[in-house]
Amino acid sequence: MVDWVMISALTTGGGTLVLASATFASVRSANRASRVAERSLLAGLRPLLMPSRPDDPTLKVGFMDNHFVALPGGSATAEATESAIYLSMSVRNVGNGIAVMHGWRIEFSRELQGMTRPALEDFHRLTRDLYVAVGDVAFWQGTYRDQTEPEFSEVSARIAAHERLVLDILYGDHQGGQRVVTRYLLNPRADDGWFTTVVRHWNVDEPDPR
């Protein structure tokens, strides 16, 4: 005798299992599509700062005490006085999104092997946000004004000796995410100027590319 109740229960259970499997596959596919869309959106906002080119325009950089410098493309400036140290650098945004610079620091180790990303709490926060549009040239600037700070005398001595400076810049996209630390070398030129190069990019909010 055919047990129709059992057959009905098995049929219902099988249909439920098929529906659950289809739902699970659909959810996985939707999650995967969402992650792809999110990464595509972030890629469209991602900045990447590099040195500007030597043929880029000279920029006029002003500091809060009315000190001004002329900053040629592909260059940096470093001036030490008794009361302040003035630093500036010309940069170009080669990424897809607006770059917003947040902070900076000088690395005092002379060893470039085995470099690791510096701690975020070691950065000097900029007194104002500096923006770099996509494909455009702008500047970074920083100062030391506290003469009792140990960094003041060290940086001043290296500038006077025309010694290479290692500069880290912390920046991100205009939404406050995708933060990156880029390490620059400020190399002395024979004319008392400085030219710049990048040695490392570290991601803060995303996995590192290496």
Domains of the chain by residue range: 1-45, 47-203
Residue 37: the pLDDT is 45
61 forms bridges with which residues in the sheet?
69
pTM above 0.75, yes or no: yes
Residue 137 · residue 73 · CB < 8 Å: yes
pLDDT in tens, the chain (210 residues): 555 566 566 566 666 666 666 565 555 654 554 554 445 455 557 999 999 999 999 999 999 999 999 999 999 999 999 999 999 999 999 999 999 999 999 999 888 888 899 999 999 999 888 999 999 999 999 999 999 988 999 999 999 999 999 999 999 998 889 999 999 999 999 887 899 999 999 999 888 766
- Residue 173: CB partners within 8 Å, gap ≥ 6? 42, 45, 46, 47, 97, 98, 99, 100
> From CA 41, how far away is CA 173, in angstroms rounded?
12
User: DSSP alpha helices (H): ranges in the chain?
Assistant: 4-45, 150-160
> What single letter denotes the amino acid at residue 47?
P
